[in-house]
Structure 1
């Protein structure tokens, strides 16, 4: 496939509307512009990295940035290439040289280069470092996307002093607040809209915040098997890319799903599966870097520090992921209160480092280390229990199913107001 075919706008700005990703986005029943679009630096020189789970919309986000850029720069100043067709860094260097020749021929001073899914390319970072070190991109903006593998391999850290004005952008599944804005932008988190918010929250617990699952559900009334398969395939692919064992990962995910919301340890998982605790630790770290799970370590409320010797709690990062892992492993989806606790924990983890703690025999499900506020998720489990204070934790908010009072908020209202 020639580089021209990846860049239909070179034939004229209007040809952006022939791009398959733009066409799919325009034709989608439910579509949105990620707020992260505005976070990417377009100031030369910049080396940007966009990463996050697969199927979360990274390619679509790039195409929307390109669509906006076409209003400001020459079409030939924008270069996009999907790197899943390449095998090694030498092929990537060749592709970049071909574009740079076009850039020189057209007299373009600043170009905007988008390299998508670069982690398909072995040693991809060598091609980028080669160009930067030789001054080939000194007036340009390079934006690189990859699945979680880009973070797994730590290759971003190989560019010290070579980033310019570049930024790292993490694209995650839609938060519940963003979900509302995408589906019902007229809704505000105020009295008068609470029933509509509750209805959307029940749907969010099914679809999660991924584009494919959302559009499948609202188009067909169900999430089709091929959508589930695409996410299972993502997990398997990324695991194999880092030379981990698919079968062992599946067994560990089975345990995590069974124990979701409970206190566990590397040793307890290792004992269940007959493997070493070091192996379990490696796989838990892998799952975290794949944006599949949120890990909550114990926090000492007196010192404000995490105690890694104590048991931890692990939740999946998005409600849809619970269903994906359940389908793959055959383990039952946890009860709704456990999923709610996971949703609250993962949302809070977007704005603060999080953990959990205990006060006497009482567990505080989540604590945000930015302000030492505790959160108890009592979704249908005794919502009126009074809050508690201890050490640096001066406030505990109860997340209820429907009770609203001082420091007691229904889950759907709390999450609709959380700006993440």
Structure 2
């Protein structure tokens, strides 16, 4: 439904509660959520406060941003907020920022109860080129006084640049308990996956205080000193259950629809993968990049997964002529939340070595499998089962998970609208050896080597030993395993599932 000029009556199409005083029972998003085997309630929703603030919520396609908004609207109505003070609008119904400004102004003038608090939910605002112009004009006119506004979108760079242009105009952000008004909704973390699917294990996590960022950080520091926290010893009793859930997570990722389908039918529909890929390709083309080049770059990323690669090497075997173009395609994929990349740590400067080779990883297992099916022109679910049958392949996907979860952990430690994981999560390499990841904790770096096997040998720690010679390392490093939890010689072996719960 595309409209160029609309009345309040026409806006009721998206705001049925103005007529009924309750959230519509036939809403597709909430109906699907209610019937789902994966009723995920993102922790992020608790960090959005009812303040006079303009929030910007970013996240990949199909992650559940619209469902999050509608669950919030439903809760507000159930709490007795007057229906006229709640406004929802999807920006795929219009074409210009001017239309958006007119629609919001009409709502605030004609429908909102004057003098009362209002909640505005503007969905997929990044569909509109230069959307921030409309928002800025409304802010400068004082139209968002006594309003909580949430803007959502699926492209990181567009929303980030747009929100940066609103700097100083985001409302009373100094009153926020949870810091930044810029939020990122990523697919469910492994801990959220467990919380949603396994109440018994979720209760165990709560009892062990593993949902507390402060406590998880303290446990990582204990591991960095060669001490296994008693909470992890308790959690190790559940490694078989955790391993089963992790194997499933490696297929479905944290995408609600895919998880529901797999839990219900032990299969993910090809249409679910296709929908994600089609939306991803649409975003790529919107940013004036070519579908065919994107497919070729993704193929090269799959071929180089978990290896070091330069932009120039990445373009080899493709029709792309120069390294700058290859880099731009990776950045479009990064800004669409498909991949992330990491630099080598410059130990002396304790910062990224930008001229070093990169490591490129996928942000989520479902996204990984969806892109792989598209790139190789095969059924994604069948391809995913085949991929997961190889221990070597599982180890590569495990690296993707660790990189993603470490990035999210560091963001939670240092929340900022300017956060870039490549400034907080690194790999390290000597002349002969390499460490998969390292993060800074208490002015020292914690080296982490990713394995998905219980056959951990002393040779697996050689990269960690080399890193310790830099004098920038904690006393102990971490090597992940399938199920082993033990202290080795200057390293601690931790099950991959448990490390993901700590991050």
Whether the TM-score (by the shorter chain) exceeds 0.5 is yes
Q: Is the 8 A contact 2:454 2:484 kept in 1?
A: no
* 1:348 and 2:406 matched: yes
Q: What is the CA–CA distance in structure 2 between the aligned matches of 1:192 and 1:307, rounded to whole Å?
A: 41
Long gaps (5+) in structure 2: 2-9, 174-180, 206-234, 378-382, 411-423
* 1:116 and 2:201 matched: no
* 1:402 and 2:483 matched: yes
* Matched residue SS, 1:64: helix
Q: What is the CA–CA distance in structure 2 between the aligned matches of 1:325 and 1:56, rounded to whole Å?
A: 15
Cα 1:8/1:141, change in 2 over 3 Å: same
Q: What is the CA–CA distance in structure 2 between the aligned matches of 1:383 and 1:200, rounded to whole Å?
A: 22
Residue in 1 that maps onto 2:249: 204
* 1:83 and 2:91 matched: yes
Q: What is the CA–CA distance in structure 1 between the aligned matches of 2:439 and 2:183, rounded to whole Å?
A: 22
Residue in 1 that maps onto 2:358: 312
Question: What is the CA distance between 1:403 and its match in structure 2?
Answer: 2.4
Residue in 2 that maps onto 1:366: 437
Question: What do residues 99-119 of structure 1 show as CA deviations (whole Å, max 9, x unaligned)?
Answer: 122335x43522111100112
Residue in 1 that maps onto 2:31: 23
Q: What is the CA–CA distance in structure 2 between the aligned matches of 1:322 and 1:3, rounded to whole Å?
A: 38
Question: What do residues 81-111 of structure 1 show as CA deviations (whole Å, max 9, x unaligned)?
Answer: 111110111211221122122335x435221
* 186-195 vs 11-20, greater mean Cα deviation: 11-20
- Could you list the runs of 4 or more consecutive aligned residues of structure 1 that deviate by over 6 angstroms after TM superposition? none
Q: Is the 8 A contact 1:359 1:390 kept in 2?
A: no
Question: Please, which of 245, 264, 267 is the counterpart of residue 312 of structure 2?
Answer: 267
Question: What do residues 244-282 of structure 1 show as CA deviations (whole Å, max 9, x unaligned)?
Answer: 111111100000011100010001112332421111111
Question: What is the CA distance between 1:19 and its match in structure 2?
Answer: 2.8
* Matched residue SS, 1:236: helix
Q: TM-score, normalised by structure 1?
A: 0.94
* 1:390 and 2:469 matched: yes
Question: Please, which of 221, 232, 240 is the counterpart of residue 195 of structure 1?
Answer: 240
Q: Is the 8 A contact 2:239 2:483 kept in 1?
A: no
Question: Please, which of 274, 290, 302 is the counterpart of residue 336 of structure 2?
Answer: 290
Long gaps (5+) in structure 1: none
Question: Please, which of 47, 56, 59 is the counterpart of residue 39 of structure 1?
Answer: 47
Q: What is the CA–CA distance in structure 2 between the aligned matches of 1:150 and 1:143, rounded to whole Å?
A: 17
* 1:418 and 2:502 matched: yes
* 266-275 vs 248-257, greater mean Cα deviation: 266-275
* 1:326 and 2:372 matched: yes
Question: What is the CA distance between 1:149 and its match in structure 2?
Answer: 5.2
* 1:74 and 2:155 matched: no
Residue in 1 that maps onto 2:294: 249
Q: What is the CA–CA distance in structure 1 between the aligned matches of 2:64 and 2:440, rounded to whole Å?
A: 30
Q: What is the CA–CA distance in structure 2 between the aligned matches of 1:335 and 1:133, rounded to whole Å?
A: 53
Question: What is the CA distance between 1:153 and its match in structure 2?
Answer: 6.8
Q: What is the CA–CA distance in structure 1 between the aligned matches of 2:156 and 2:400, rounded to whole Å?
A: 24
Cα 1:67/1:247, change in 2 over 3 Å: same
Q: Is the 8 A contact 1:41 1:165 kept in 2?
A: no
* Matched residue SS, 1:263: coil
Q: What is the CA–CA distance in structure 2 between the aligned matches of 1:279 and 1:330, rounded to whole Å?
A: 22
* Matched residue SS, 1:223: coil
Question: What is the CA distance between 1:22 and its match in structure 2?
Answer: 1.7
How many pairs were matched up? 416
Q: Is the 8 A contact 1:292 1:317 kept in 2?
A: yes
Q: What is the CA–CA distance in structure 2 between the aligned matches of 1:268 and 1:279, rounded to whole Å?
A: 12
Q: What is the CA–CA distance in structure 2 between the aligned matches of 1:65 and 1:3, rounded to whole Å?
A: 19
Residue in 2 that maps onto 1:175: 189
